[in-house]
Structure 1
């Protein structure tokens, strides 16, 4: 009996940002490919990865939004982390093999003192089980081969590190042993696995990470996210409506509005002269490309201003602008 031929998905241009609440067990790329398939999108990317064992906020970029995805690699992030005390592993998380088990005899005061010690600017040595590269090879490849290589410490900042409420006792009862739950707001490049290991070492009993949920990345929090299960239950029109406009990625950019003539020239990459003060990050808008479109402005791209000149940085194409308008027209202000 011959197998039925697979239906080929007809891809289409899709522009915008989907804030996904990534499920447990999927890599960031697996989650991206699933959403890309559901949207039938031609082009997609993400703004930084989450480990398969982590859940939570994962912004996914489609079409024109991929031009600005790199900007969010540097975003500060916040996590809810669950640490199992008394056990260390080869990877610093639940995927690794147990290295050592020790008794746990710590108090509330001990934990509070250690958390205070790990709050603020500091240096952190990246873990061997990470995608950072050394001589063109990912660190986890060395680790899998049983090798340990030197990793220079990196400057990070832990802005906030707090215990999350636990019922009754300082150490929550848990099927996996004694655990504490933390809220950690950190700068880019901070490894929560390493932070968990360092906290465990400072407590004198060791620790590893058994749960991690990203609750914030940049301006994006869980409240704006959609789950993969919810997305699968939607029809195609609803999935498109779940997308945010491309300029949600540019919330830290000051807006600049150009008249039609300047907008057309700006889109060709030409600098414009004006009275703009010097600025590094600008979101540039212009009038809609065709009369009768019920919007006041459309995103043209990003720019910086210097000496009275508006200098393009990343531009949308006229086709991308037209497609984005047709797909998800912005609402007029009230």
Structure 2
């Protein structure tokens, strides 16, 4: 006999406005406990010191996590010039200093090199795996890591404000896998003045905005009550970047069983990844081919 799953079969997205000082995993665990959910996950880790959008998926919404993880994200962050740290942020030990400070014009001239398709070396203290171990665990043991550069698409990188000679407020929109700390580190090096992140905040992630975020106090207040479900957004929001097609009644029945099903579509090219709905609810993600959706993920 199959063992029944513990918890509620609740599905949807919760946009958490994560505070500083807590890990993304701890936030997910709190949300899962508060909703008594069977399954939970998040779409993109935030450093413990970072704040802002942490999109938590519950139940069937976890099947849309890869789509949100791959979407563009926006970060606003303060760079402190004049010092490099072991973690590339204010949490680490200062390892090098300089009296050099850049002008606004120096910063503006350096930014184009960090836009478009770039190569970025992750921070020593990061979740990158090295021979099966996390880089931050090896770094804590004092091991100097030779981390490989990784590709990153930077849609935009803008100087927003210059409070004083020691600081610069920047905003970046980038793709999956970006390290804001690496941007601050490498920008400081390029300017000859060193630099690290003083604070950072994720303003939006794919379809989710910090303005819609729920704080942990509200989650605690409503935890394990009927009212907490009012905080959830439908799983369909995680499909915002995909075209939508409408399943016929017969097609919906076939799709729910994992088989290709007939859909109604307009202006969709052969092979395009789409999502199908029936009576307003998502039932599958897949490839559109000649009037049918060939499913890759099916929602229960």
TM-score by length of 1: 0.81
Separation in structure 2 between the aligned mates of residue 309 and residue 257 of structure 1, nearest angstrom: 10
Residues 275/30 of structure 1: CA separation in 2 closer, same or farther (3 Å cut): closer
1:275 Cα offset (Å) = 7.3
1:125 Cα offset (Å) = 1.5
What's the secondary structure of 2:161's corresponding residue? coil
Q: Is the 8 A contact 2:255 2:284 kept in 1?
A: no
Q: Which runs of 5+ in 1 are unaligned?
A: 1-9, 172-177, 288-296, 318-334
Q: Is the 8 A contact 1:77 1:218 kept in 2?
A: yes
Residues 210/274 of structure 1: CA separation in 2 closer, same or farther (3 Å cut): closer
1:34 alignment counterpart: 30
Q: Is the 8 A contact 2:9 2:38 kept in 1?
A: yes
Q: Is the 8 A contact 2:263 2:293 kept in 1?
A: yes
What's the secondary structure of 1:165's corresponding residue? strand
1:304 alignment counterpart: 287
Residues 1:213 and 2:201 aligned together:
yes
1:325 alignment counterpart: none
Moved more, 104-113 or 21-30: 104-113
Residues 1:259 and 2:259 aligned together:
no
Q: Deviations over 1:225-256 (max 9, x none)?
A: 11112333347343211101111100122222
1:268 Cα offset (Å) = 0.7
1:247 alignment counterpart: 236
Residues 1:97 and 2:80 aligned together:
no
Write out aligned runs for 1:32-71 (5 A). 32-71=28-67
1:94 Cα offset (Å) = 1.5
TM-score by length of 2: 0.90
Alignment counterpart, residue 128 of structure 1, candidates 124, 127, 134: 124
Q: Which runs of 5+ in 2 are unaligned?
A: 1-5
1:73 Cα offset (Å) = 2.0
1:274 Cα offset (Å) = 6.2
Moved more, 213-222 or 274-283: 274-283
1:116 alignment counterpart: 112
Alignment: residue pair count: 291
Separation in structure 2 between the aligned mates of residue 268 and residue 194 of structure 1, nearest angstrom: 45
2:275 alignment counterpart: 283
Separation in structure 1 between the aligned mates of residue 198 and residue 192 of structure 2, nearest angstrom: 18
Separation in structure 2 between the aligned mates of residue 56 and residue 139 of structure 1, nearest angstrom: 24
Residues 255/105 of structure 1: CA separation in 2 closer, same or farther (3 Å cut): closer
Q: Deviations over 1:110-165 (max 9, x none)?
A: 12212233223221112221111122222223222222333222222222212223
Q: Deviations over 1:290-312 (max 9, x none)?
A: xxxxxxx3221212122443211
Separation in structure 1 between the aligned mates of residue 263 and residue 186 of structure 2, nearest angstrom: 53
Q: Is the 8 A contact 1:65 1:246 kept in 2?
A: yes
Separation in structure 1 between the aligned mates of residue 15 and residue 87 of structure 2, nearest angstrom: 29
1:194 alignment counterpart: 182
Separation in structure 1 between the aligned mates of residue 144 and residue 7 of structure 2, nearest angstrom: 44
1:166 Cα offset (Å) = 4.2
Separation in structure 2 between the aligned mates of residue 248 and residue 105 of structure 1, nearest angstrom: 44
